[in-house]
Amino acid sequence: MEISDQLKQTRAKLGLSQSQAARAWGLNVHTLQTWEQGVRRPRGLALAQLQTILANALSESTAGTVAPAKKPRPRK
């Protein structure tokens, strides 16, 4: 499954808008939008951290909470 689909499905399961998800996950809303639309793909450290964010978000949703994640560090 593509990361864009994973993002959309996770957001839908959590009942979050793009801006709410971006805020909760420590992302810029424009970045989240471009990833969801498939315009860009997260790579490297951002991809690894995003996969952790999605896994944590889904596991925490069963407990009824969504904790903010650490913001990925910018690429140099």
69 in any annotated domain? no
Q: What is the pLDDT of residues 14-56, one digit of tens each?
A: 999 999 999 998 899 999 999 999 999 999 999 998 989 888 8
**Domain count of the chain?**
1
Q: Give the other-Cβ count within 10 Å of 54's Cβ.
A: 18
What separation, in Å, do the N-terminal and C-terminal C-alpha atoms of the chain show? 28
71 in any annotated domain? no
7 in any annotated domain? yes
Q: Is the pTM of this model over 0.85?
A: no
**Domain span holding position 24:** 3-61
What CATH number is attached to the domain comprising 26?
A: 1.10.260.40
How far is C-alpha 17 from the chain's CA centre?
A: 11
Q: What is the pLDDT of residue 21?
A: 93
CA angle, 2 as apex, 37 and 70 as ends, to 5°?
80
For residue 68, pLDDT beyond 90 = no
Q: What is the pLDDT of residue 60?
A: 75
66 in any annotated domain? no
The residue that leads in pLDDT, 43 or 60, is 43
